[in-house]
Chains A and B, each alone.
Chain A
Amino acid sequence: KAGVTQTPRYLIKTRGQQVTLSCSPISGHRSVSWYQQTPGQGLQFLFEYFSETQRNKGNFPGRFSGRQFSNSRSEMNVSTLELGDSALYLCASSRGSGSPLHFGNGTRLTVT
């Protein structure tokens, strides 16, 4: 069974640009969550989607947005990039309540 797939693995963007990250969950998993990992702040929850609906949102500015498609694939968008957005962005999927999160390998975003 294929795991959670995140693309791209590495991304370099310039301040002010926007970026879209993609996540394909494990087949059958309807919940997709996104996390930001930085050395200073650690792992922070961004948002969770379940059956195309945002179910939870973390404490991030509106520049961070996401969506989920009918096939459960999810995208995360960051607009007007700032240097502080440089981080590892992790996507995780699960079947839903009671089942564990399975993480992808992450997308390393560098903002210059």
Chain B
Amino acid sequence: AQTVTQSQPEMSVQEAETVTLSCTYDTSESDYYLFWYKQPPSRQMILVIRQEAYKQQNATENRFSVNFQKAAKSFSLKISDSQLGDAAMYFCAYGSYAGGTSYGKLTFGQGTILTVHP
């Protein structure tokens, strides 16, 4: 079974600064997806960024980028130029590719609460 570990229960950052959230995972599969989701107080889970394991290039989405180290099974999220609206719980998640037939089952980490100070 796959496991996802987020070792930082809480992190804080000053507005406009950069912060990195850590995530490690354990799997015996070679094909999979990794995600970062954000959950603000409104409760809705919002996709931040996605990484396919077969791609060596790190994914980026505007101010969000990942450092994907497949051999080390590490998948960290870097938020640049942090904004007050980035404050939320961030979840790292693993999804099996399983030949492309199943994508709805994700394994989530325990989450990291990010506080942004003005």
Q: A residues near B, CB below 8 A?
A: 31-33, 35, 42-43, 45, 48, 50, 55-56, 58, 88, 90, 92, 94, 96-106, 108
Q: How far is the CB of A102 from chain B (nearest CB, A)?
A: 7
A105 lies within 8 A of B43 (CB): yes
Within 8 A of A (CB), among B54-106: 91, 97, 100-106
| Cα A101 to Cα B31 with chains together (Å) | 18
User: How many whole Å from B51's CB to the nearest CB in chain A?
Assistant: 11
| Alpha-carbon gap, A21 to B82, bound state (A) | 36
Distance between Cα atoms of A81 and B103 in the complex (Å): 29
- Interface positions, chain B 23-38, Cβ under 8 Å from A, are 35, 37
Residue on A nearest B107 in the bound complex, by CB: A45
CB–CB A99/B44 < 8 A: no
Interface of A is mostly: strand
Contact B35 A100 (CB under 8 A): yes
* Contact (A106, B47) CB under 8 Å given A42-B110, A101-B103: no
Chain B interface mostly helix, strand, loop or mixed? loop
Q: Are B104 and A94 in contact (CB under 8 A)?
A: yes
Give, as a whole number of angstroms, the nearest-CB distance from B111 to chain A. 7
Using C-beta atoms within 8 Å of the partner chain, give the interface range for chain B: 20 to 34
Is B44 touching A106 in the complex (CB atoms < 8 A)?
yes
Given A88-B43, A101-B47, A104-B44, decide whether A42 and B102 contact each other with a Cβ distance below 8 A. no
Using A100-B47, A103-B45, A105-B42 as known contacts, say yes or no to A92 and B35 having CB atoms under 8 A apart: no
A97 and B106 alpha carbons, distance in the complex (Å): 13
Q: Which one of A55, A88, A98, A106 lies within 8 Å of B104 (CB-CB)?
A: A55
